[in-house]
Amino acid sequence: MNVNWINEMRLDFAALPENEAFARLAVSGFLLPLDPTMEALADVKTAVSEAVTNAIVHAYPKGGGQVRVHGRYDGEGLVRIDVTDTGRGIEDVAQARQPFYTTGGEERSGMGFTVMESFMDAVEVKSAVGRGTTVRLTKRLRTRDEALPRRA
């Protein structure tokens, strides 16, 4: 797919739990010029939150590391956000995408990818053991203008 992106942002931050909220808010601020519906904005924020949390918890189980959020959008409401880490990678991506599968111990639900998939139009995962993971989140935003009923 050849897309003409009209805006983009990159945000690099330490893989710390407190930075998950920071990433979610930064993406929200980035998307506001598109005038998305509150529901659409909440969907993207939730998916980004899950992807960033996965990177923090699973990519760097002993701490440390960096996470990158790279967002872009075109002039027609198409949004793509990549969440990338350089951590331990995922051995079996298909297994990791199954509901309730987790490597994070009993306190993790194993629903991260399922949540992302329920809020986004597409979720792609590329990973290499020992090199890291990129989760690509794609959604066509419905803007407020499109959500409002048309008047005669």
The Cβ-side half-sphere exposure at 30, using a 13 Å CA radius, reads 25
Helix (H, G, I), strand (E, B) or coil at 95: helix
Q: How far apart are CA 13 and CA 2, in angstroms?
A: 29
- Set 24, 50, 80, 88: catalytic member: 50
**Is residue 4 annotated as part of the catalytic site, yes or no?**
no
**Is residue 136 annotated as part of the catalytic site, yes or no?**
no
**Is residue 20 annotated as part of the catalytic site, yes or no?**
no
Tokens of 71: 């967002």
The β-bridge partners of 81 are 71, 137
- Set 19, 24, 54, 88: catalytic member: 54
Q: How far apart are CA 109 and CA 21, in angstroms?
A: 19
Helix (H, G, I), strand (E, B) or coil at 105: coil
- Set 108, 136, 140, 142: catalytic member: 108
Q: Find tokens 């499109």 and name the residue.
A: 146
Hey, which residues are catalytic here? 50, 54, 108
